[in-house]
Amino acid sequence: MTQESEQEQEQVIQQDTSYLWDSDEAALSGQSQVLQSSQDSWSNGDGGSQSWQERQHRNSFKQVEGLGELEDVTEVEYRKVRLERVVLVGVYSSHNTTQEEAEESLRELAALAQTAGAQVLDGLLQQRDKPDSATYVGSGKARELANLVAAQEADTIIVDDDLQPSQRRALEDVTKVKVVDRTALILDIFAQHATSREGKAQVQLAQLEYMLPRLRGWGASLSRQAGGQAAGQSGGIGSRGPGETKIETDRRVIRRQISRLKRQIEQMAPAREVKRGSRRRYGLPSVAVVGYTNAGKSSLMNRLTGSQELVENALFATLDTAVRRATAADGRVYTLVDTVGFVRRLPTQLVEAFKSTLEEVAEADVIMHVVDGSHPDPFSQIEAVNKVLEQVDGTADIPHILVINKADRMDATARERVIRLEPQACIVSARTSEGLGDLRQRLEVLLPKPSVRVEAKLPYSAGSLLSKVRQYGQVQSVDYQGDGVDIVADVDDHIASQVMKASIDTV
Ligand SMILES: Nc1nc2c(ncn2[C@@H]2O[C@H](COP(=O)(O)OP(=O)(O)OP(=O)(O)O)[C@@H](O)[C@H]2O)c(=O)[nH]1
Ligand SMILES: [Mg+2]
C-alpha cells in the first residue's frame, strides 16, 4: 500500500498563522502579551494593579498540586502544554462540516493553546473522510507535517480531536515531536486555572479519568515484556503479586486516587449547599451569568456590580463560580453568579467538574446568557450553550435574557443580523457601557417579587431589621412616628415573620 493509493483529498489548508489571527486578534494574542497589555485594564478602574497581581498569580500557578503520589507511576505521562512552540492539526470531512467551521474550530484551538501558554506557529487542516486510523492525518500528510515541524522548530503538535493512544504514538514516531490532543489541552488549562479546593480536586479527577484508559497505550509493550498472558488477564490470584505487570499497579494507584478524590468532592458538597443556603436565607434573588468562554461574562458582572472580578483575555479566566452582590434601582439586593465559560466539545471528563456551576444555574431566578457579538458566528455559540443548558434539569422554566456583548466591535451588518435573528436580545458593551441601563432594567423586571405584604410599626431599636427589609424587600412606605416607624413593605416569609415578631403592638 503506497501513500499515493491513499484516498486522501489533498486539500490542505496550510498557511502561516496570520489567518488564525485576523478575525479575533484580541482573543488570540499570546498570553505573554496579555500579561503585558495595559489595554484591558479599562474595566478594572483604579483596581487595575490589584487585578494585575491576581493575573500574575494565576499565570504563575502552573499545576494542580497533589499529583505527587503519582511520581512512582512511571508509565503515566501527563502531557502538559505550556511555553511550547506548537503546530495545530485538524481533520475535517466535508460530509459533516464546512471549511469555515473547521477553520473556526482550529482558531478556537489556537486560542486554547495560547491560554495554556503555548506559542502557535502554524495551523494545518486536512480534508478527508475520516481521520486515519494509524496516524490521524494520512501517512503522506504525516510526513509533510514532520517536515513542517522541523522547519518551524516546533516541539509539539496539538490535534483538534481526541486521539487513540496508538494514533498519538504513531504520529509522534513520524513527526518526532510530542503530540497532544484537544482533551489533554483543555484539561491542562483547567489545571492551571482552578483555584478553589473543590475546583482543583475536580480537575485532578478529570485528569486521572483521562489517563486511566490511556495507560493501555503505554502499557501494551510493557505487558508483553512482562510475559504475555499475565497482562490483560482480568484479575485472578496468579496475576497479582510478583507476576503483576507495571500497568496494573499503575491502574490500581490511579483508581484508588480516583475514588479518594470522588469521596473528597462529595464531602465538599455540603459546604456548597450551606453557602447557597445563606444566600437564599432572605430570599435573595439570583441571576446566573452563563455563556461561551471569553464572551465577557466577568466584564459585564463587573459593570453591573462594580466589583473586581478577574477579567483576562484568555479562555477560561473564570474557573470557579464567583458570586457578587448587585443593587437594583429600587434598592433591593440581588446576586449575580459568574460561571465557567462553555466551550464546544467539552471533554466528557470535565462535564462533572462543571456540575457545581450548572447546579447554581438551575437554582437561579434568571439566566443571563452572554454572547460575544464580535465573534464571526455568535449563533453557533448560542446554540452550543443552549444545548448544554437543556441537559441541566430545572433550567427550562427559568426566564432567560440573551445579552449580545462587545457591541463596540460589531459593525452595522452584524447588529442587523442579531436584531433579525434574535429580536429579544439585549445588545450591550461592557467596554463602553452601551445598553447597560436597558439590560439592568430588563433584569430587574424578571427578578421575583417578594410575596408577603407587611404593615407594621417597628420600634426605633429595630434599625437593623428595617435595613434588612429595605435590602431584601420592596418598601412601599416608611413613616417615622414618635413611637416607632410605620412601614408597609413586600418581603419574603422569613423576614415577614421577623417583622411581625418585632412590631409594636399598638392595640
Ligand atoms: N471590545 C470589547 N471587549 C470586551 C467587552 N467585554 C469583555 N471584553 C474583553 O473580552 C475578554 C474576555 O472577557 P471576560 O469578561 O474575561 O470573559 P468571560 O466570559 O468571563 O471569560 P471566561 O471567564 O474565560 O469564561 C477580555 O479581554 C475583555 O476585556 C466588550 O464589551 N467589548
Ligand atoms: Mg470569566
Instruction: Please state the ipTM of this predicted complex.
Output: 0.98
Paired residues of 89 in beta bridges: 124, 159
Rounded to whole angstroms, how far apart are CA atoms 145 and 216? 26
With a 6 Å cutoff on the Cβ, whether 311 touches ligand 1 is yes
Q: Three-state DSSP class for 225?
A: helix
- How far is residue 307 from each of residues 48, 253, 299, 311, 453, measured CA to CA in Å? 12, 43, 10, 11, 32
With a 6 Å cutoff on the Cβ, whether 293 touches ligand 1 is yes
Find the 183 Cα to ligand 2 centroid distance in Å.
21
In eight-state DSSP terms, residue 292 is B
Rounded to whole angstroms, how far apart are CA atoms 79 and 76? 9
With a 6 Å cutoff on the Cβ, whether 308 touches ligand 1 is no
Q: Three-state DSSP class for 213?
A: helix
Sheet holding 85-92, edge to edge: 12-16, 119-127, 85-92, 156-159, 178-181
Find the 97 Cα to ligand 1 centroid distance in Å.
28
Rounded to whole angstroms, how far apart are CA atoms 398 and 294? 24
Domain 12-192 CATH assignment equals 3.40.50.11060? yes
Q: What is the pLDDT along the chain (507 residues), one digit of tens a residue?
A: 444 444 443 333 333 333 333 333 333 233 222 222 223 333 333 333 333 333 333 333 333 333 333 333 333 344 455 457 899 999 988 888 888 888 888 888 888 888 788 889 998 889 888 899 999 999 889 999 999 999 988 989 999 988 888 898 899 999 999 899 888 888 887 777 777 777 788 888 888 888 887 775 443 333 333 333 433 444 334 334 444 577 778 888 889 999 998 898 888 766 666 555 555 555 678 898 999 888 999 889 888 887 655 555 445 545 555 677 888 887 778 888 887 777 777 777 777 666 666 777 888 889 999 999 998 889 988 988 888 888 777 788 899 999 999 999 999 999 999 999 999 999 999 999 999 999 999 999 998 877 789 999 999 998 889 888 888 888 889 999 988 999 999 888 888 888 989 888 654
The distance of Cα 41 from the centroid of its chain, to the nearest Å, equals 22
Which run of H or E residues covers position 502? Answer: helix 493-502
Find the 375 Cα to ligand 1 centroid distance in Å.
12
Rounded to whole angstroms, how far apart are CA atoms 136 and 159? 9
With a 6 Å cutoff on the Cβ, whether 369 touches ligand 1 is no
Q: What angle do CA 335, 338, 340 make, to 5 degrees?
A: 155
- Phi then psi for 222, rounded to 5 degrees? -60, -45
What is the DSSP pairing of strand 119-127 with strand 12-16?
A: antiparallel
Assign domain 282-446 to its CATH architecture. 3-Layer(aba) Sandwich (3.40)
* pTM, 2 dp: 0.66
Contact criterion met (CB below 8 Å) for 295 and 405: yes
- Closest by CA to 352, choosing from 193, 190, 180, 216, is 190
